[in-house]
Structure 1
Amino acid sequence: MFDVAVIGLGPVGATLANLLAAYGLSVAVLEREATPYALPRAVHFDAECMRVFDAIGVAGEVGAACHVSPGMKFLNAGGQLLVDWPRPPEVGAQGWHASYRFHQPDLERILRARLAAQPGATVHLRCEVYAIEAAAERATVRYEDLRCGRLAAIEAAYVIGADGARSLVRRLIGSEMEDLGLHERWLVFDALLKRPWSVLGDHSVQFCDPARPATYVRGVGERRRFEIMLHAGEDAAEMARPETVWSLISRWMTPEDADLERATVYTFHALVAQRWRHGRLLLAGDSAHQTPPFLGQGLCAGLRDAANLAWKLAAVLRHGAPETLLDSYQEERAPHVGEYIRLAVELGRIIQARDPDEVAERDRTLASAPRLLRSLSPRLGPSALRLAQPASGTVAAQPLLADGQRLDCAAAQSFAVLARPGLLPADTAAALQQRLPYPLAVITEGSAPVQACLDALQAAALVIRPDRYVYGAAADLPGLQALLASLGQALRPDAQALAACRP
């Protein structure tokens, strides 16, 4: 009997399993394949994702395998700059760089190695799930061991489907996908440089050319990626042939510059599952949503799912929080990821514009107002854990504390109160911790980074959730006490739930 079973050991499933184990839950992971997929897929994540990796103790190793991206440029057919989206080279407000490029097989190996060291985690490789039977108090996951054909089963309090776009768990939940309106075929190919090459530099480039829209991505090390939109009627197998691939990028790169690692055709989709939870079954990552790659947020969205869901499962299974807390997962995450997907669709329409009048209007509008990407600042959707405050539901900044620690390290897996000096007498700080049926770290200091963080929100104190989103801001001690009282109400355990928790 496990607390949680995770179906799928891709980056989202592996991150979620690591987080659950870090919260002290027992977790079983079932994965059909023996090893990570050897070729590149996702290539970008952001500062928020690095905070998640930091929470499971792999940020340093992951960062060492990454390239910090300077940003993205959008060019029209004549080479005119339509949008410049620079990413600052210095560490940002969240304590990490804004944009990272990575090689997915490297990331997966790091996550799997960390999971193997977690005492509460059990990994079953070459095991294919074929049925899940949910009962009142547990779910039974039935699977086949593909190494020998043996049929077996495990039991868990909850089952999370991190099993990708063709999710079995989503089908068992009975959830259809909401179509947000983009379905286009693109040829994606990765190259490995074999000599110095700097034609397109380190920025990602979106070539908004109506004759053949294309994308260039500078990967880690010698890796470079190109994505090219296919025309209607073009044969996918023919377009993926090496001769065709090289002909499409001959103005930038030739076989003398690089070796072709792989070429394949994807159909980009924009989809969100209508239902993310049914009783003891839940979805995360691509099983819950799919986005076109134009914003580089596909993996980021899945890792945000993992961070949001993990602490709530811990609250229910370890601290007796009401099971209805899990309903806030979709309430918060679906609108949040939907905003990112809709912007990716809008960018896709800009990049893929083909009609001459539409292209001309796009070039005029964007060249005079390159503001599109700077306006993105989504909040979590309305839930019992989001207040009617501007800061509530936004990702918290991460100031460096006076002792050199990052805020996240000091808070660990807890809620955190970040307060100005003098707001909390010592006995009051201890009393605050008694108000919440969940671990609480109280951090009071007057360092410049902390004061700047509080000044930005005009607050004397912040209450920050374990997934590092702001629960609420307070102007004084009574306001902080009221925040914790309302939070305690949302997390308050009932006697039956508390009795079911393990000590």
Structure 2
Amino acid sequence: MDPVIVVGAGPVGLTLALALARQDVPCVVLDEGPGKDEPRPARTVVLRDDTAALMERLTGLSLDHAGFRWAGWRSVRRKQVTNEVAFEDAETAPLHIAQHVLTGALRAALEHERLVKVAVDSRLDALEQERSGVTAHTRGASGTWWRGSYLVGCDGPRSTVRKLQDIRFPGRTAVERHAVAALRTELPWQDEALLHRSPPWRTSGPSAGEITARPLPDEVWRLDWLLPPGKDLVTPEMLLTRIRETLAGWNGGTVPPYELLDTGVHTVHHRLARRWRADRVFLAGDAAHLLGALGTHGLDEGLRDADNLAWKLALAWHHGPHEALLDSYQTERRALVASRLRAADQALPLLRGGGGLRTYVPGSSRSLDTLLMDGHLGRGALGAPGTYAGSPLAPGRLEGEAPVGTEPGAQVTDVTVTAEDGTFVRLRDRLGRGALLVVLIAPGTGVWARRHWVSAGIMPRLAAAVSALPHRAELLVAESYPGAAAHTVLLVRPDGHLVTALNGVRPADMYAAAEAALGGPTGPATPEAGADGRPPGAGTREDAGARAR
């Protein structure tokens, strides 16, 4: 079987290649650049807890040393604090990291991944599809033809893949513009991100109605000034004036020493591709969608694209195409991103209009500040990860369904679980391996060695039900889970979304839910799996490595 071709070596493309390789799928990454990223401290990304965990799982690194987790968040209007949030649990705090540092960590992980070949100076200029695969041509020093089983365009807003497939990309241009500066300095507060609306000091030039300050390691801060609508040129002189006025405003009129590291202009567009799949070609990340107004961050959604698509492509690569499963990528992800865009577009007139609701409703400014804060912190309609409740992979009504603190289709809560080898691990650490996860909630098991309870009570019956599922699954045991009663059984997709929760061991319901999560029945019964749990001919990691080479 030919490797998967990933076009684009940004964070989304590199993430997808790593996620596929961890599921024994060989990849070729077509990188139009030289294979390294220019350091740009003013170009940063904010990762929520789920995407930060995904990055750490794939790179094997703790990103806390490369990025900065905020200790808190503060919203200020003129001189009044309107909202404050303290992140007591560092793992739930947003992670702020320079994009070149993140891609560097992903590239370093790929250097040790023998299933992935990165072709630098390779710009895609043509592709052809047949029933059995995809052929892509690149120009440049390494210009050649590449043969793949599937191709994924992760090549950004001006995606060549999208254009070659004649996929429309409608939406709104320049929804917001921000002047950006990265500088090393001391601010009156430490470790907290700040959103300052309507600052009280006078500004030269267009009014600075909103300023965001986000900390990075080594006393570096990224400052963003929301620019008024229009195409006014952001000159170096104007930006330096903004920096001095802002620092003086925050420091009682005195400009503290600072070192300017980088500057830029960040323009936000809102666009959504009409299709995310064209037979064996897929779109992900900025090639499929652009969003980012009101504090939302498009990279989070791009990484979730990669996580959603990886396990589905891996299953199709190993076991043969399953159209319903592959189609569900577009259905799930496009609907979720579309809802995020709608929420931002509906909020924009209220938050940026200057009048409207706040003119008539007492306290509305504070509620609007909370809405804007939610976008920055990954909460509410503007920022929450969202669920796949309406997914075609959701099972129908099951007799043994049990309520838990997670909706079906939502991401599971990260709890401590006991793995099959008896070790204690985090639930999220077991994701991304291509296997379904079956989690039994069994209070008291944490104080006993696994050998004492693995063959007792309902465990043998549950283990037999897990082994009979239509896809490889891992059985885990947790002391507790939010909202779950004892002996509740959770079925979790490889990307961490809950399929269903059952009240006890119900083999028929479990099988039906697993079959639905895989896209439904695949047709006639397949040959019996081999000792490694794969159907005959699925191949091993060694076979895949040989094909990638």
Flag whether TM exceeds 0.5 (same fold): yes
> What's 1:106 paired with?
101
Counterpart contact for 1:418–1:462, Cα < 8 Å: yes
> What's 2:145 paired with?
153
Query: Following the alignment from structure 1 to structure 2, what is the Cα–Cα distance between the partners of residues 342 and 218?
Result: 29
Amino acid at match of 1:433: S
Counterpart contact for 2:31–2:123, Cα < 8 Å: yes
The one of 169, 178, 203 equivalent to 1:177 is 169
Shift in CA distance, 248/501, structure 1 to aligned 2, threshold 3 Å:
farther
Question: Would you say 1:475 and 2:503 are equivalent positions?
Answer: yes
> What's 1:405 paired with?
425
> What's 1:394 paired with?
410
Q: For residue 388 of structure 1, report the CA deviation from its aligned partner.
A: 6.0
Query: Following the alignment from structure 2 to structure 1, what is the Cα–Cα distance between the partners of residues 472 and 133?
Result: 26
**Residue pairs, 1:455-494, within 5 angstroms:** 455-456=483-484, 460-478=488-506, 481-489=508-516, 490=519, 492-494=521-523
> What's 2:352 paired with?
352
Shift in CA distance, 192/25, structure 1 to aligned 2, threshold 3 Å:
same
Query: Following the alignment from structure 1 to structure 2, what is the Cα–Cα distance between the partners of residues 6 and 152?
Result: 15
Shift in CA distance, 235/408, structure 1 to aligned 2, threshold 3 Å:
closer
> What's 2:209 paired with?
213
Q: For residue 172 of structure 1, report the CA deviation from its aligned partner.
A: 2.1
**Residue pairs, 1:260-339, within 5 angstroms:** 260-320=260-320, 322-339=322-339
Question: Would you say 1:124 and 2:119 are equivalent positions?
Answer: yes
Structure 1 gap segments, 5+ residues each: none
Q: For residue 242 of structure 1, report the CA deviation from its aligned partner.
A: 4.9
CA RMSD in angstroms, aligned pairs only: 3.1
Q: For residue 381 of structure 1, report the CA deviation from its aligned partner.
A: 5.5
Q: For residue 28 of structure 1, report the CA deviation from its aligned partner.
A: 0.3
**Residue pairs, 1:17-96, within 5 angstroms:** 17-34=17-34, 35-40=36-41, 41-60=43-62, 62-76=63-77, 78-84=78-84, 86=85, 88-91=87-90, 96=91
Q: For residue 164 of structure 1, report the CA deviation from its aligned partner.
A: 0.8
Cα-to-partner distance string for 1:176-213 (whole Å, 9 max, x where unaligned):
234268712221222133xxx12354332222329422
Counterpart contact for 1:187–1:240, Cα < 8 Å: no
Q: For residue 412 of structure 1, report the CA deviation from its aligned partner.
A: 5.9
Shift in CA distance, 182/72, structure 1 to aligned 2, threshold 3 Å:
farther
Query: Following the alignment from structure 1 to structure 2, what is the Cα–Cα distance between the partners of residues 261 and 315?
Result: 45
Amino acid at match of 1:365: S
Q: For residue 67 of structure 1, report the CA deviation from its aligned partner.
A: 1.5
Query: Following the alignment from structure 2 to structure 1, what is the Cα–Cα distance between the partners of residues 267 and 430?
Result: 43
> What's 2:451 paired with?
none
Q: For residue 458 of structure 1, report the CA deviation from its aligned partner.
A: 8.6
Structure 2 gap segments, 5+ residues each: 200-206, 398-405, 443-455, 527-534, 541-549
Query: Following the alignment from structure 2 to structure 1, what is the Cα–Cα distance between the partners of residues 217 and 347?
Result: 24
The one of 446, 457, 463 equivalent to 1:429 is 463
Shift in CA distance, 117/188, structure 1 to aligned 2, threshold 3 Å:
same
For normalisation by structure 1, the TM-score amounts to 0.86
Query: Following the alignment from structure 2 to structure 1, what is the Cα–Cα distance between the partners of residues 431 and 156?
Result: 32
Identical amino acids, percent of aligned pairs: 24
Segments of 4+ moved more than 6 angstroms: 495-500
Shift in CA distance, 251/398, structure 1 to aligned 2, threshold 3 Å:
same
Shift in CA distance, 432/337, structure 1 to aligned 2, threshold 3 Å:
same
Q: For residue 464 of structure 1, report the CA deviation from its aligned partner.
A: 0.5
Shift in CA distance, 118/293, structure 1 to aligned 2, threshold 3 Å:
farther
The one of 173, 177, 180 equivalent to 1:188 is 180
Query: Following the alignment from structure 1 to structure 2, what is the Cα–Cα distance between the partners of residues 12 and 363?
Result: 43
Query: Following the alignment from structure 1 to structure 2, what is the Cα–Cα distance between the partners of residues 361 and 181?
Result: 31
Query: Following the alignment from structure 2 to structure 1, what is the Cα–Cα distance between the partners of residues 524 and 439?
Result: 31
Q: For residue 345 of structure 1, report the CA deviation from its aligned partner.
A: 4.4
Q: For residue 66 of structure 1, report the CA deviation from its aligned partner.
A: 2.2
Shift in CA distance, 19/231, structure 1 to aligned 2, threshold 3 Å:
same
Cα-to-partner distance string for 1:441-471 (whole Å, 9 max, x where unaligned):
01135x2xxx233x34897111001101101
Question: Would you say 1:235 and 2:263 are equivalent positions?
Answer: no
Cα-to-partner distance string for 1:18-62 (whole Å, 9 max, x where unaligned):
0010000010001111111320323210110123124324242x2
Question: Secondary structure at the residue paired with 1:184?
Answer: strand
Cα-to-partner distance string for 1:126-151 (whole Å, 9 max, x where unaligned):
21111111111111111013xx3x53
Question: Secondary structure at the residue paired with 2:44?
Answer: coil
Shift in CA distance, 418/324, structure 1 to aligned 2, threshold 3 Å:
same
Moved more, 315-324 or 11-20: 315-324
Shift in CA distance, 412/228, structure 1 to aligned 2, threshold 3 Å:
closer
The one of 119, 134, 137 equivalent to 2:132 is 137
Cα-to-partner distance string for 1:55-105 (whole Å, 9 max, x where unaligned):
324242x232121113433332x3233444x252215xxxx3331111221
Counterpart contact for 1:320–1:500, Cα < 8 Å: no
Counterpart contact for 2:153–2:162, Cα < 8 Å: yes
Counterpart contact for 1:131–1:142, Cα < 8 Å: yes
Query: Following the alignment from structure 2 to structure 1, what is the Cα–Cα distance between the partners of residues 236 and 351?
Result: 20
For normalisation by structure 2, the TM-score amounts to 0.79
Question: Would you say 1:452 and 2:481 are equivalent positions?
Answer: yes
Amino acid at match of 1:404: F
Question: Secondary structure at the residue paired with 2:92?
Answer: coil
Q: For residue 491 of structure 1, report the CA deviation from its aligned partner.
A: 5.2
> What's 1:419 paired with?
440
Moved more, 239-248 or 1-10: 239-248
Counterpart contact for 2:393–2:520, Cα < 8 Å: no
Question: Secondary structure at the residue paired with 2:123?
Answer: strand
Query: Following the alignment from structure 1 to structure 2, what is the Cα–Cα distance between the partners of residues 4 and 244?
Result: 49
Which structure has the greater CA radius of gyration? 2
Shift in CA distance, 234/411, structure 1 to aligned 2, threshold 3 Å:
closer
